[in-house]
Amino acid sequence: MGKCLRIIPNWAITLQLNYIFTVEFGHMKLTFYKYQGTGNDFVVIDNRNLIFPKEDGKLVSFLCDRRFGVGADGLILLENDDECDFKMAYYNSDGNTSTMCGNGGRCMVAFAKHLGIIDRKSIFKAIDGPHNATIEDGIVSLQMGNVSEIKIRPNSFFLDTGSPHHVQMVDDLEGFDVVKEGKKLRYGLYGEKGSNINFVTQFAEASFAMRTYERGVENETLSCGTGVTAVAIAMHSAAKTGQNEITVVTQGGELKVRFDKEGEYRNIFLIGPAELVYKGEIEC
């Protein structure tokens, strides 16, 4: 368990170990969990009793705010499902519902295990359909949807791995202005609906580094699971590697993508750690 904050009514802040993060803000008390997967962080709530007001985008945005709320790249609700172990409802930090989140899905599998809903194997429902997953020693292997179409542009690729992704190789990834160039492409090339924008460089035969400008967050995030998947598939399709297990290093850590190529890309698995940071309560 990491360090946790308790914020009291006069906004004085004390820092303690293994303490619940509490905010005196309003009238409804919510128990939440903070999870992260290679630095992609989420406010996670057990909503099996449907207490969370899902239509309240301002509340979602507040909870994800890093200055006045808990702080996260997105908010995820775990809910009951008649056909699967559970259902995942994902919201971007701007308060809007979003497409599939790979790192969020991996965190949800870890959360479901924490709650005792699953053991080692799971199948859960997300906005893009059911996903199989396994968890062992904190490493979650999440099956992603098949990829059948990759659009090739002069200097980039576009594909959908549960969320839309632009993939572009650059020479100096470390010095690259991800926010400036990502915002330019996100709106200029893809319009209001937009796309996530990934910049990538290769440093070994089956290893790549990437940075992502994520729509809905409207900033660079430390990692993006569907983006990692998109980078791996795009680089394989471009013959940058002949391997079917690819390592992708993000700003927040390392993930692996394994797949089969049978006409389309199938049996795609996003593999990496998902960790509980802390548990808390918030009144709002």
- The radius of gyration computed from the CA coordinates of the chain, to the nearest angstrom, equals 19
Handedness of CA 261, 262, 266, 269 (dihedral sign): negative
Please indicate whether residue 101 is annotated as part of the active site: yes
Per-residue pLDDT of the chain (284 residues; tens, 9 = 90+): 333 333 333 322 222 223 333 333 447 889 999 999 999 999 999 999 999 999 999 999 999 999 999 999 999 999 999 999 999 999 999 999 989 999 999 999 999 999 999 999 999 999 999 999 999 999 999 999 999 999 998 889 999 999 999 999 999 999 999 999 999 999 899 988 889 999 999 999 999 999 999 999 999 999 999 999 999 999 999 999 999 999 999 999 999 999 999 899 999 999 999 999 999 999 88
29-37 and 40-46: which strand pairing?
A: antiparallel
Q: Identify the three-state secondary structure at position 239.
A: coil
Active-site annotation holder among 64, 101, 107, 284: 101
**Domains of the chain, earliest start first:** 3-131+275-283 (3.10.310.10), 144-273 (3.10.310.10)
Active-site annotation holder among 4, 64, 107, 224: 224
Please indicate whether residue 224 is annotated as part of the active site: yes
